[in-house]
Structure 1
Amino acid sequence: MMIYMQIFLISMMLLMMMYKHMLIMLMMMELLVINMSMIIYMMMGELGMEFYLIYYLIFSVCESVLGLALLVMIVRFNGNDLYYMFNFSKF
């Protein structure tokens, strides 16, 4: 369990440091989602309720699809995924 908490903290620190590119942020968020699913599986496995993990995985897949759709829209309108180049008056 301790290794999952360390991975969680490392990915949170990387998410805070690598904020310029949206693709890197999406990858770090997916690492957090995978890590949280492992923690939830271990906790729910002790209680015998592993089927609740399916609900979490469904919401995480929806979140990742929305993130990728947003990334494609931003790249089409802006040309790159750098945050400091955004001009929100276009939207």
Structure 2
Amino acid sequence: MYIFVGCLFMFYVSVSSFFYKKSHLLIMLMLLEFMSVSVLLMLLNYLCGFNCDFSILIYFIIILVCEAVMGLVLLTLFVRCHGSDYFQTSSIFLC
């Protein structure tokens, strides 16, 4: 029970930080990964509590890896087009 509450607190902190820290793309991607890891821990806690099949975790981890790779690709393209990952100095439509 305490693990679930801790994961829920981690998720809440990451979501609130995501909405307040919108200046750098890298910080936003790290907060998205933090949200995903907290959801993964909540799912693991739920599956352990009910003795369910753990194959859904493999699919969820695959989705997390694909999300991380796409985020890094977008970060690389954004830095190559604009020179930094700072949102305030660049417009999305310039690239």
TM-score interval, normalised by the smaller of the two chains: over 0.9
5+ residue gaps, structure 2, are: none
Aligned residues: 91
Structure 2 distance, partners of 1:37, 1:68, is: 20
Q: Of 55, 77, 81, which aligns to 2:81?
A: 77
Structure 1 distance, partners of 2:92, 2:70, is: 19
Give 2:37's aligned residue: 34
Is 1:2–2:2 an aligned residue pair? Answer: no
Range moving further from structure 2, 24-33 or 44-53: 44-53
Structure 1 distance, partners of 2:80, 2:94, is: 12
The normalised TM-score by structure 1 is: 0.92
Q: Of 71, 82, 92, which aligns to 1:67?
A: 71
Between the aligned residues of both structures, percent identity stands at 27
Structure 1 distance, partners of 2:57, 2:87, is: 33
The normalised TM-score by structure 2 is: 0.89
5+ residue gaps, structure 1, are: none
Give 2:56's aligned residue: 52
**CA-atom RMSD in angstroms:** 1.1
